[in-house]
């Protein structure tokens, strides 16, 4: 043990570990995507998948299934998983609170609130519009959280952000449960939340893609600043970080990523909570590694959970959020017990 | 030195004033709350009944329906808020509330199981629900404790929070799966339970809850000094010669007992446990000798106001009190938050 070299550096960083995660993770992700496309009510051969993607002919039924149903679903779960995980990593880094998740910015509650309103008053709205309104709801509530958090003297401290998030979330949740009790739409909402990526199609992915790409690029650019922020605000200020700017940028990225993801699949928030923790334990506190690794691991978890949701109770689908918790919880418990670490 | 004691005195006065205001507000709401409901009683009627001059119908309404419910909301509010204050103290995390011990979801899961189990029957045996809920709460808290405990290291607050999140998420997932299989009538019932509504509305429930509060609350107050020290860094409290593990376990037990019994009778009102202590802290500061009693009163006030409103707005159906707690509590909390200094 080179104790002497490490006495002053409390933060461990393991780039090698991160590289391995990235490599193996990407590999497993590709396998997962293929499996996700191949299995379902009708099994499809690998060769057919290849042909359907690269030599598409519109007349063949199996090609159409691959192209129009399976591929968008697989891609959507990968994207959504990555979004939640990156958003969670940024939230935990910025607020230095292990309880922080994208939901803390009010994203989930806002989207659910908008959804409850839509289902109660405009039940005939199409799926596409529901997504857009959910996103509007998410934006509204995170704007509220951010605004109220930063009005006060002394600006937006992590604790204040977290508290404002909890308060706004519970307010909006209170409204949406009242709406759902009053209009008897609790079951519809439960189905939507349990639905996952079932109805994903290309037009959704087209809506998602620019936002998600932008958000991810932003996250990578911001990663260095977030590492510094995660050392504490005083240190960050001392190191010449423009804290307010980083926080604003971070919050916008979280909103874009998590808001998009929530609107499409509902609050599968556990991905955003658990993946960053696991990754941080494995690679150490450097967000340059945490963010890409979280993205890969989040996608991985989501894609395989989606596969599982189709296989476990065949031919019915199990709620993907439940499955993620079932996969994630034991692993998370194990890690939480194994190591005591800094945030 | 002089200025320090002056400051101390100022804080004490502030504390006294806060407590007095809380008590006045609670008393006023109490009187209003006696009047409110489907059958309106004027304040004079209420007074008449109290000095034994009312009609038997008025007596029935007041003593058998309204009073127990009011007493329960007072007790539940104070219990949850003190539980939250303790948990925020020992975990040193401002987001901690009885929910991180899985108490709400644990109780919720058992309630859902209970309802799906009795789905074949026409009438769900509602009277047994609090006991089922309490069992769920205590089991979950025990599970979290066992998973957190590690030989040689004991309970680390950080690990407890993480394990709490994990267990709660697991239970929530199970809840999602279960609720999908419920029929709409049952789901409505579960939604209302999860949103939080005062369940027990007769004296039996008061009697069930009262011993918990009467024993655990003073115990919590007597540990205020310990909480102050635990709230500091762990090394500091060790250095001050405290048996951290033992104290933490006792306090945890108090918190679970309070929250579990309150959730069992009062339904899922987690938000009181989060916001009550924060309101109190904003008003009287972080010292637990002041904070715990102030939390108890702020929780009581919050819940009695919410419950009164819930009964005023009865048409067409009663709103679960938990929802009103959020609707009243959250804006005020946000206001305090926006006003506060860093």
Q: Dig out the tokens for B135 from the structure.
A: 């069992």
Domain A10-338, CATH among 3.30.1390.20, 1.10.3470.10, 1.10.357.10, 3.90.1150.10: 1.10.3470.10
What is the rounded CA–CA span in Å between residue B268 and residue B193? 7
Write out the H or E segment, with its range, that includes residue B190.
helix B184-195
What is the rounded CA–CA span in Å between residue A173 and residue A167? 10
Q: Dig out the tokens for B160 from the structure.
A: 């407890």
The domain segmentation of chain A, as residue ranges, is 10-338
* Overall average pLDDT of the B11-40 stretch: 85
Residue A170: list chain B partners with CB under 8 A: 271, 274, 326, 330
Whole-model pTM above 0.80? Answer: no
Low-confidence spans in chain A with pLDDT less than 50: 1-9, 341-343
Quick: pLDDT tens for B321-339: 888 888 888 888 888 778 7
**Residue B308 sits at the chain A interface (C-beta within 8 Å):** no
- Left if phi > 0, otherwise alpha if psi is -120 to 50, otherwise beta: which for A211? alpha
Quick: pLDDT tens for B208-222: 788 888 999 999 999
What is the rounded CA–CA span in Å between residue A59 and residue A324? 37
Which range marks the domain in which residue B255 is found? 2-339
What is the rounded CA–CA span in Å between residue A88 and residue A250? 11
Q: Among A76, A118, A135, which residue's Cα sits nearest to residue A258?
A: A135
* ipTM score over 0.85, yes or no: no
Quick: pLDDT tens for A89-137: 998 888 777 667 777 788 888 988 998 898 888 877 777 787 788 889 9
What is the rounded CA–CA span in Å between residue B166 and residue A274? 8
Query: Which class for B318: exposed (0-12), middle (13-18), buried (19 or more C-beta within 10 A)?
Result: middle
Give the list of residues 6+ apart from residue B51 with CB closer than 8 angstroms, or none.
Answer: none
**Mutating which of A103, A110, A186, A272 best tests the B interface, going by the most B Cβ atoms within 10 A?**
A186
Establish how many alpha carbons lie within 13 A of residue A284's alpha carbon, considering only the half-sphere containing its beta carbon.
12
On the question of pLDDT at B259 being above 80, the answer is yes
**Residue B339 sits at the chain A interface (C-beta within 8 Å):** yes
CATH number where B266 lies: 1.10.3470.10
CB–CB contact B337 A325 (8 Å): no
What is the rounded CA–CA span in Å between residue A294 and residue A86? 6
Residue B232, min C-alpha distance to chain A (Å): 17
Q: Among A262, A253, A249, A270, which residue's Cα sits nearest to residue A138?
A: A262
| Residue A247 Cα to chain centre, angstroms | 19
Q: Mean pLDDT check: name the lowest of A141-155, B99-113, B119-133, B207-221.
A: B119-133
> Does residue A322 contact residue B173 with C-beta atoms inside 8 Å?
yes
How much is the mean pLDDT over chain A?
Answer: 80
Residue B256 confidence (pLDDT)? 86
Nearest CA in chain A to B323: A174
CB–CB contact B173 A321 (8 Å): yes
Residue A218 confidence (pLDDT)? 93
Count of structural domains, chain B: 1
Strand, coil or helix: A248? helix
Strand, coil or helix: B154? strand
Q: How far does chain A reach from its first CA to its final CA, in angstroms?
A: 23
Residue B315 confidence (pLDDT)? 55
Residue A329: list chain B partners with CB under 8 A: 166-167, 169-170, 173
The H helix count followed by the E strand count for chain A is 15, 0
Quick: pLDDT tens for B133-156: 888 888 888 888 888 877 766 667
Residue B187: list chain A partners with CB under 8 A: 186-187, 190
């Amino acid at each position: 043990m080179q104790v002497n070299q490490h006495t002053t550096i409390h933060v461990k960083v393991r780039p090698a570990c991160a590289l391995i995660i990235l490599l193996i993770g990407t590999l497993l992700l590709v396998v997962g995507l293929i499996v996700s496309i191949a299995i379902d009510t009708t099994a499809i051969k690998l060769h057919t998948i290849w042909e359907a993607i690269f030599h598409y002919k519109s007349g063949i039924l199996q090609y159409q299934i691959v192209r129009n149903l399976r591929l968008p679903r697989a891609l959507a779960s990968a994207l959504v998983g990555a979004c939640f995980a990156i958003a969670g990593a940024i939230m935990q880094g910025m607020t230095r609170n292990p309880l922080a998740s994208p939901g803390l910015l009010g994203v989930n509650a806002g989207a659910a609130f908008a959804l409850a309103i839509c289902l109660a008053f405009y039940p005939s709205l199409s799926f596409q519009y529901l997504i857009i309104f959910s996103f509007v709801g998410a934006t509204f509530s995170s704007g509220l959280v951010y605004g109220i958090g930063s009005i006060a003297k002394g600006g937006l401290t992590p604790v204040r952000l977290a508290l404002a998030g909890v308060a706004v979330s519970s307010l909006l949740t209170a409204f949406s449960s009242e709406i759902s009790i009053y209009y008897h739409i609790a079951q519809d909402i439960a189905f939507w939340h349990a639905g996952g990526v079932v109805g994903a199609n290309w037009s959704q992915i087209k809506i998602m893609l620019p936002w998600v790409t932008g958000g991810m690029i932003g996250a990578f650019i911001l990663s260095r600043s977030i590492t510094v922020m995660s050392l504490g605000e005083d240190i960050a200020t001392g190191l010449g970080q423009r804290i307010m700017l980083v926080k604003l940028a971070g919050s916008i990225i979280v909103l874009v990523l998590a808001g998009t993801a929530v609107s499409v699949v509902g609050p599968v928030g556990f991905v955003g909570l658990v993946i960053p923790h696991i990754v941080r334990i494995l690679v150490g506190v450097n967000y340059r590694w945490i963010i890409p690794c979280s993205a890969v691991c989040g996608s991985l978890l989501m894609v395989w959970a989606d596969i599982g949701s189709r296989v476990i109770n065949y031919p019915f689908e199990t709620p993907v959020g439940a499955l993620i918790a079932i996969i994630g919880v034991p692993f998370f418990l194990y890690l939480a017990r194994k190591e005591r670490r800094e945030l | 030195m002089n200025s320090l004691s002056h400051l101390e005195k100022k804080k004490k006065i502030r504390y006294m004033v806060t407590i007095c205001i809380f008590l006045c507000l609670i008393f006023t709401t109490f009187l209003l709350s006696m009047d409110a409901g489907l059958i309106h009683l004027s304040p004079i009627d209420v007074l008449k009944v109290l000095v034994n001059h009312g009609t038997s119908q008025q007596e029935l309404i007041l003593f058998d329906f309204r009073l127990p419910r009011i007493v329960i909301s007072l007790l539940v509010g104070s219990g949850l808020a003190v539980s939250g204050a303790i948990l925020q103290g020992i975990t040193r995390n401002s987001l901690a509330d009885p929910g991180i011990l899985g108490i709400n979801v644990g109780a919720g899961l058992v309630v859902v199981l209970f309802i799906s189990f009795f789905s074949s029957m026409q009438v769900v045996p509602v009277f047994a629900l609090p006991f089922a809920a309490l069992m769920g709460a205590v089991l979950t808290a025990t599970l979290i404790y066992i998973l957190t405990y590690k030989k040689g290291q004991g309970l680390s607050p950080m690990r407890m929070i993480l394990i709490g999140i994990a267990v709660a998420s697991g239970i929530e997932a199970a809840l999602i799966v279960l609720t999908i299989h419920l029929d709409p009538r049952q789901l409505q019932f579960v939604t209302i339970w999860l949103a939080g509504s005062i369940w027990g509305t007769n004296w039996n429930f008061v009697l069930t809850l009262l011993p918990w509060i009467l024993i655990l609350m003073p115990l919590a107050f007597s540990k205020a000094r310990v909480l102050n020290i635990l709230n500091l860094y762990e090394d500091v409290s060790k250095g001050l010669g405290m048996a951290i593990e033992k104290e933490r376990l006792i306090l945890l037990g108090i918190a679970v007992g309070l929250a579990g019994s309150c959730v069992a009778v009062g339904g899922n009102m987690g938000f009181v446990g989060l916001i009550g202590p924060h309101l109190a802290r904003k008003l009287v500061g972080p010292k637990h000798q002041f904070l715990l009693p102030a939390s108890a009163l702020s929780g009581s006030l919050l819940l009695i106001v919410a419950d009164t409103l819930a009964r005023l707005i009865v048409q067409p159906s009663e709103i679960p009190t938990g929802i009103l707690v959020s609707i009243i509590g959250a804006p005020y909390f946000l206001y305090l938050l926006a006003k506060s200094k860093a």
